[in-house]
Amino acid sequence: MKAILPILDDFERALKVETADKEYARGMELIYQRLFDSLKKLGLEPISSKGKKFDPHLHHAVDMVETNEVEDHSILEEHQTGYNFRGRLLRPAMVKVAVEKK
């Protein structure tokens, strides 16, 4: 399962790119959704991160930003989706975390 995660990552990045060919974009979305649904049936579960509190057991902080606009240790952005597989951590989410501005 771990070997397939980079393919999901590539699909997610490709789907964020704007394209003039809407049919192509829709086809990519359908292929991604079909793959994702199949992997979910096998036990793959994405870890929801954005807006949640940082948990070192589920998240890997790759960036920290000083701010007073959100609660300390809140996740501001997800750089890479984390996944559980059959109830166990397969890959932590790579995230940007808020730290209290002093």
- What tens digit of pLDDT does each residue of 33-86 get? 999 999 999 999 999 998 899 999 999 999 999 998 889 999 999 999 999 999
pLDDT of residue 102: 75
- When the pLDDT of each residue in the chain is averaged and rounded to a whole number, the result is 94
Select from 17, 78, 27 the least CA-distant residue to 52. Answer: 78
pLDDT of residue 9: 95
| C-beta separation of 31 from 69 below 8 A | no
User: What pTM value is reported for the model?
Assistant: 0.86
Question: Which DSSP letter does residue 76 get?
Answer: E
**Two tokens, residue 46:** 């994405």
d(CA 29, CA 12): 9
For the chain, the residue count is 102
